[in-house]
Structure formats: structure tokens, C-alpha cells
């Protein structure tokens, strides 16, 4: 399905990459971008992530067949409320936030019969931000989770799945609750762990650090505003996963303290096996 016009609200790393990929695959006749600042808009236009841009959020969605809410997680519903009066009848609205429970519930209530909302979460990104880092290949081969509910319009669902597949993603369907539980486990927890590891490192030791420390703490360089909003929005799942992680760390700590090499080797072997299966498929 080709859309006559798509509006992307928030043309940063994700929004900009959607624009670049949608243009590359000719998924829209015209792409309108919305940013909060003129400088960001100029950068998005220079990168050719959008065909036209505006700072006027409300007017940006007029005549658009699809509206993509690519704002930080705590701004999604506010943006939706502002554009609601100007949405076309049956316009498809999607978000790309990494927490779904509250957003999907509120969005479905707000759009009601005015538009058709489908929650989506492309599992792609970087600790870096901004349209400068956007890429048309960002979604190639990466999962995109579609959060279907009993209220999801089936025609809109098919169109959204097709859209993400054409951007290069592999689509999966989960309920919003299941999404938040699973994504906390493999995305939100790792960020909290990377942050804790960074804080635990002695300042005087950092000059000796190399690729090991750099790799395990890379995502701690993510935007603090963005990640504090994500972690608190998914508080129940994230805190449960942190507790689970703490138990695993405690087990390893006790084995190290006891100098129990045989048992420690078993634990580390299990960890290696799980990591290798993810990384190398074996």
C-alpha cells in the first residue's frame, strides 16, 4: 500500500530513518516532518528524510493518510491529543515508543472512531540521537513488534505490517502487556545494567578501560531524559527484571567469594551458551 501523504512527528534518529526508508522504497507520495525547533527541521530537509516540514504540529497532519508519532515516550499522547481534531477520517496513526501498555490504552480511547491506531515498536536504534544519525537501512533485518488488541482495526493492521516489512523489518504481534514484559527483559534491563556498571567503575580505573568495558557500557550513553521516561513508564516490568538480574549477580558473587571454580564454570558456560545462541544462532 502506498500512502499519498505521511506525517512524521519527531524527525530524530527513528523518525528520520523512517522517512529515509519510506522514500527509498517509495511508500508515500509526500512525507511531512514536524520538529520542535527550526534547526532540527533544516537538518531533516537537508538529509532529505522529509519532503516538507513545519513547526505547526496541528496543521501538519491535514490530508495525511498515516501519522507516525516518533516522539519520546512521555510526549506521544500529548502529541496525539493536539493533532486529533485535524486527522483525516480513517487515518492510520502509529507510534514507535518502546513502552506500550499506557500508550496503547490511552491512544485507542482518544482516537475512538476518528482514526485507526496501531501500536508499533521497531527494535532498532542507537545510543546516539538526531536525524544526523538516521539511516534508510536502520530497520533492515530487525524485529518490529506490533501491539494488537481487541480494538485494532484489521485493515489498518495489515497496512501497518506491510509498511514495516517494506522498511525491512520482521514483524511480530504481541499484546501491549506482553510487549512491555518481554522488551523490559532484553532492552530496558540492559540499559539499567549498563548504567549501573558505568557508575560502579572507579574514575581512576577508566584510563585503563578498553573494548570490554566500552562494549558492555555503550548503551549507558543513551539520552537520560529518554531513558528515565522509558524505565519509569515500564516500572513494574523493569523493576522485576532488575530484581531477577540482582539474584543472578548475587549467585555469581557468592561462587567467586567461595572460590568455587567448578560451579562458577557451569554458570559461565550457561551464560556463554545463551549469548552464543543469540549472536551466532548456535
Find the angle CA(15)-CA(54)-CA(94) to the nearest 5 degrees.
Answer: 35
Q: Are residues 260 and 127 in the same domain?
A: no
What is the grid cell recorded at 270? 550457561
> What is the average pLDDT score of the chain?
96
Q: Are residues 140 and 225 in the same domain?
A: no
Domain boundary at 174, 195, 230, which?
Answer: 174
Number of domains in the chain: 2
How far lies 241's CA from each of 89, 123, 181, 213, in Å? 41, 19, 9, 22
Is the pLDDT confidence value at 96 over 70?
yes
Nearest Cα to Cα of residue 99 among 127, 120, 69, 130: 120
Provide, rounded to the nearest whole percent, the portion of the chain with pLDDT above 90: 95
Q: How far is CA 81 from the centre of its chain?
A: 21
Range of the domain at 211: 179-280
pTM for this entry:
0.93
260: CATH: 1.10.3660.10
Q: Are residues 45 and 183 in the same domain?
A: no
Q: Are residues 138 and 265 in the same domain?
A: no
Domain boundary at 174, 194, 216, which?
Answer: 174
Q: Are 111 and 95 in contact (CB under 8 A)?
A: no
Domain boundary at 106, 139, 174, which?
Answer: 174
Q: How much is the average pLDDT of 65-87?
A: 97
Q: How much is the average pLDDT of 178-187?
A: 98
Residues with Cβ < 8 Å from 260, sequence gap 6 or more? Answer: none
Q: Are residues 114 and 16 in the same domain?
A: yes
What pLDDT shows up at residue 27?
A: 98
Q: Are residues 123 and 19 in the same domain?
A: yes
Q: Are residues 128 and 250 in the same domain?
A: no
| Segment 108-124, tens digit of pLDDT | 999 988 899 999 999 99
Q: Are residues 165 and 188 in the same domain?
A: no
Q: How much is the average pLDDT of 190-215?
A: 97
Find the angle CA(276)-CA(280)-CA(281) to the nearest 5 degrees.
Answer: 90
Q: Are residues 160 and 206 in the same domain?
A: no
What pLDDT shows up at residue 282?
A: 62
Q: What is the longest distance spanned by two Cα atoms in the chain?
A: 68
What crossing angle do the helices spanning 224-233 and 189-200 adopt, rounded to 10°?
Answer: 130
Quick one: DSSP state of residue 63?
T
Phi and psi angles of residue 3, each rounded to the nearest 5 degrees, phi first:
-90, 140
Is the pLDDT confidence value at 75 over 70?
yes
Amino acid at each position: 500500500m502506498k500512502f499519498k501523504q505521511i506525517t512524521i512527528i519527531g524527525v530524530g534518529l527513528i523518525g528520520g530513518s523512517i522517512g529515509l526508508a519510506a522514500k527509498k522504497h517509495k511508500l508515500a507520495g509526500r512525507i511531512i516532518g514536524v520538529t520542535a525547533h527550526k534547526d532540527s527541521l533544516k537538518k531533516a530537509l537537508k538529509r532529505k528524510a522529509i519532503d516538507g516540514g513545519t513547526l505547526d504540529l496541528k496543521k501538519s497532519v491535514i490530508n495525511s493518510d498515516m501519522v507516525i508519532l516518533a516522539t519520546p515516550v512521555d510526549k506521544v499522547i500529548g502529541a496525539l491529543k493536539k493533532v486529533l481534531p485535524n486527522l483525516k477520517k480513517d487515518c492510520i496513526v502509529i507510534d514507535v515508543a518502546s513502552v506500550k501498555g499506557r500508550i496503547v490504552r490511552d491512544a485507542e480511547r482518544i482516537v475512538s472512531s476518528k482514526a485507526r491506531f496501531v501500536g508499533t515498536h521497531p527494535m532498532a536504534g542507537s545510543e546516539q540521537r538526531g536525524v544526523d544519525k538516521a539511516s534508510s537501512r536502520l530497520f533492515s533485518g530487525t524485529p518490529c513488534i506490533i501491539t494488537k488488541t481487541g480494538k485494532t482495526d484489521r485493515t489498518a493492521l495489515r497496512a501497518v505490517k506491510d509498511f514495516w516489512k517494506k522498511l525491512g523489518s520482521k514483524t511480530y504481534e504481541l499484546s501491549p502487556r506482553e510487549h512491555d514484559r518481554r522488551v523490559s527483559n532484553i532492552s530496558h534491563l540492559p540499559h539499567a545494567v549498563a548504567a549501573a556498571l558505568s557508575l560502579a567503575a572507579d574514575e581512576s580505573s577508566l584510563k585503563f578501560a578498553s573494548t570490554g568495558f566500552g562494549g558492555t557500557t555503550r548503551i549507558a550513553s543513551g539520552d537520560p531524559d529518554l531513558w528515565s521516561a522509558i524505565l519509569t513508564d515500564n516500572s513494574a516490568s523493569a523493576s522485576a527484571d532488575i530484581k531477577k538480574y540482582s539474584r543472578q549477580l548475587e549467585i555469581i558473587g557468592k561462587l567467586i567469594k567461595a572460590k568455587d571454580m567448578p560451579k562458577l564454570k557451569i554458570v559461565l558456560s550457561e551464560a556463554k551458551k545463551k549469548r552464543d545462541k543469540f549472536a551466532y544462532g548456535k
